[in-house]
Amino acid sequence: MNPCDQQDAPRSELDSTISLRPEHNPVVRNLGNSKSLRAAVDAQCAHCMGCTAEHLEPGFRDEIRDCSAPACPLWNFRPYQRSA
């Protein structure tokens, strides 16, 4: 799929497309970046939402952004938050 076409693609189609690109998978990024706390937190949150190295859960970014577990030690550091 041409990247320009992705702007009009349904969200579920985008997620399945992105899942084929390892650079967009936080779990995979962490495997190649084991000394990065940022990569580790991103991977843990993605894992928490059901993502693996082989699978990205559709909508996982929104789920992490809207995470409803403020007692989690990683909550303040979770990725995909909107900037204030």
Site residues, ligand SF4 (CB under 6 A): 44-45, 48-49, 64, 67, 69, 72, 74-75, 78
Exposed/middle/buried for residue 32 (C-beta within 10 Å: 0-12, 13-18, 19+) = exposed
- Closest separation between CB of residue 48 and ligand SF4, Å? 3
Nearest 5°: phi and psi at 33?
Answer: -145, 55
Closest CB to ligand SF4 among residues 13, 74 = 74
Q: What's the CA dihedral at 73, 70, 59, 33 to 10 degrees?
A: -10
Shortest Cβ 58–ligand SF4 spacing (Å): 15
User: Closer to ligand SF4 at the Cβ: 12 or 81?
Assistant: 81
Q: How far apart are CA 68 and CA 64, in angstroms?
A: 9
Toward ligand SF4, which CB reaches closer, 14 or 49?
49
